[in-house]
Amino acid sequence: MQACYFIVRGRVQGVGFRFFAEREARAAGVRGWVRNRADGAVEALAIGEAPALEAFRRRLERGPAAARVAGVETVPAELSSDELRSHRGFVVAPSE
């Protein structure tokens, strides 16, 4: 089990990106959360096996139709085994 943060930049707020990410994470078998950041980016914490995380990243790079994704940064997340287990599904979290 691995965990990473995906920071998505571009025109990604106000276009349904978080709800797109929630749906795509569930389809990829990824757990965690997604939220809007104050700097205009969207951030997701994703937990899953490497192939599922890569599939989720590819979906984030595409984004919903109204979005214009400029880039997706991947940052490894250092989570304890308790933190890894605490995420049961994938949710839209409150904005930063």
Which pLDDT band, with edges at 50, 70 and 90, does 80 fall under?
Answer: confident
Q: Please state the pTM of the whole predicted model.
A: 0.93
Domain tally, the chain: 1
Q: Which of 31, 36, 57, 59 is catalytic?
A: 36
Q: Which of 18, 31, 57, 59 is catalytic?
A: 18
CATH of the domain at 74: 3.30.70.100
Across residues 13-18, what is the average pLDDT?
Answer: 96
9 catalytic, yes or no? no
Across residues 70-93, what is the average pLDDT?
Answer: 89
Taking CB atoms within 8 Å and a gap of at least 24, the contacts of 18-24 are: 18/42, 18/92, 19/92, 20/63, 20/64, 20/67, 21/59, 21/60, 21/92, 22/90, 22/91, 22/92, 24/56, 24/59, 24/60
- 88 is in which domain, residue-wise? 2-92
pLDDT, tens digit (0-9, with 9 covering 90-100), for 32-66: 999 999 999 999 999 999 999 999 999 999 999 99
